[in-house]
Amino acid sequence: MLLTIFLICVSAILILGWDDFRRKRRINFLQKQLNQQQAELNILQESNKKIQDQLDSTKEKLRATFQDPVTHLISWHVFADRLQQHIKESERQSLILGLLFIDINDFKMINDAYSNEVGDAVLRETGKRLQACIRQIDSVSRFSRDTFVILLTKLTKPETAVVIAQRILQSIAEKYQIDNHEIHISCCIGMTFYPSDGKEAATLLRNADHALHIAKQHGKQGYHFFEERMQAKSQRELILSTGLNRESVINEFNIYYQPIINVNHETIFCMDASLRWQHKQYGQIEEQDIYAYAEKQRKLNFITEWILSRAARQFIAWQNLGFNPEYLALSLFPKQLESSQFIYRLSQILQESGFQAERLLLILDANFMQISFDILEKAFNMLKYLGVKIGINHFCAGPFPLRYLQHLNVNFLRIDPTIIDDVVLNKQSQALIKSIIQMGENMSIRIVAQGVQTKDQANILKELGCELMQGQFLSEPIVEGEVVNKMSVMF
Lowest mean pLDDT among 34-48, 80-94, 411-425: 34-48
Please indicate, yes or no, whether residues 375 and 413 belong to a single structural domain of this protein: yes
pLDDT for residue 13 is more than 60: no
CB 97 within 8 A of CB 194: yes
Compute CA 381 distance to the chain's CA centroid, rounded to the nearest angstrom: 33
Tell me the pLDDT band of 481, cut-offs 50, 70 and 90. confident
pLDDT for residue 108 is more than 80: yes
- pLDDT at residue number 231: 62
CB 140 within 8 A of CB 98: no
Tell me the pLDDT band of 56, cut-offs 50, 70 and 90. low
Taking phi over 0 as left and psi of -120 to 50 as alpha, with beta for the rest, 227 belongs to beta
pLDDT, mean of residues 212-218 = 88
Q: Are strands 96-104 and 147-155 parallel, antiparallel or unpaired?
A: antiparallel
Q: Is the residue at 37 inside a domain?
A: no
- pLDDT at residue number 282: 85
Q: Is the residue at 49 inside a domain?
A: no
Tell me the pLDDT band of 51, cut-offs 50, 70 and 90. low
- Round the average pLDDT of the chain to a whole number and report it: 87
Rounded to an integer, what distance in angstroms lies between the CA atom of residue 272 and that of residue 394? 15
Residue 277, beta-bridge partner list: 253, 285
Domain boundary among 226, 255, 289: 226
**SS3 label, residue 255:** strand
Please indicate, yes or no, whether residues 187 and 222 belong to a single structural domain of this protein: yes
| CATH code of the domain covering residue 97 | 3.30.70.270
Residue 258, beta-bridge partner list: 272
Query: What's the number of CA atoms in the CB half-sphere (13 Å) around residue 50?
Result: 6
Q: Is the residue at 36 inside a domain?
A: no
Please indicate, yes or no, whether residues 379 and 430 belong to a single structural domain of this protein: yes
- How many domains does the chain contain in total? 2
Please indicate, yes or no, whether residues 380 and 478 belong to a single structural domain of this protein: yes
- pLDDT at residue number 293: 86
pLDDT for residue 251 is more than 80: yes
pLDDT for residue 227 is more than 90: no
pLDDT for residue 34 is more than 80: no
Domain boundary among 226, 261, 285: 226
Lowest mean pLDDT among 149-163, 220-234, 320-334: 220-234
* Planar angle of CA 334, 337, 342, nearest 5 degrees: 140
Please indicate, yes or no, whether residues 176 and 293 belong to a single structural domain of this protein: no
Rounded to an integer, what distance in angstroms lies between the CA atom of residue 416 and that of residue 420? 7
Please indicate, yes or no, whether residues 84 and 161 belong to a single structural domain of this protein: yes
Q: What are phi and psi of 268, to 5 degrees?
A: -85, 110
Query: First-to-last CA distance in the chain?
Result: 164
Please indicate, yes or no, whether residues 93 and 129 belong to a single structural domain of this protein: yes
Please indicate, yes or no, whether residues 307 and 180 belong to a single structural domain of this protein: no
Please indicate, yes or no, whether residues 299 and 363 belong to a single structural domain of this protein: yes
Residue 20 vs residue 303, higher pLDDT: 303
Length of the chain equals 491
Q: Is the residue at 22 inside a domain?
A: no
pLDDT for residue 201 is more than 80: yes
With residue 143 as reference, give the H or E element that holds it.
strand 139-144
Q: Is the residue at 13 inside a domain?
A: no
CB 468 within 8 A of CB 437: no
Domain boundary among 167, 194, 226: 226
- pLDDT at residue number 336: 93
Q: How many C-beta atoms surround the C-beta of residue 149 within 10 A?
A: 25
Sheet holding 96-104: strands in order across? 139-144, 147-155, 96-104, 187-194, 222-225
Q: Is the residue at 4 inside a domain?
A: no
| CATH code of the domain covering residue 454 | 3.20.20.450
Tell me the pLDDT band of 217, cut-offs 50, 70 and 90. confident
Q: How many C-beta atoms surround the C-beta of residue 136 within 10 A?
A: 6
- pLDDT at residue number 292: 87
Of 333, 248, 223, whose CA–CA distance to 287 is shortest? 333
- pLDDT at residue number 117: 92
Q: Write the pLDDT tens digit of every residue in 396-454.
A: 887 888 999 999 999 999 999 999 999 999 999 999 999 999 999 999 999 999 999 99
Please indicate, yes or no, whether residues 252 and 385 belong to a single structural domain of this protein: yes
- pLDDT at residue number 397: 86
Q: Is the residue at 6 inside a domain?
A: no
The model carries a pTM of 0.63
Q: Is the residue at 143 inside a domain?
A: yes
Residue 153 vs residue 221, higher pLDDT: 153
Please indicate, yes or no, whether residues 397 and 473 belong to a single structural domain of this protein: yes
Please indicate, yes or no, whether residues 97 and 157 belong to a single structural domain of this protein: yes
**% of the chain at pLDDT higher than 70:** 86
Rounded to an integer, what distance in angstroms lies between the CA atom of residue 318 and that of residue 180? 73
Handedness of CA 204, 205, 207, 208 (dihedral sign): positive
**Domain span including residue 414:** 247-490
Tell me the pLDDT band of 189, cut-offs 50, 70 and 90. very high
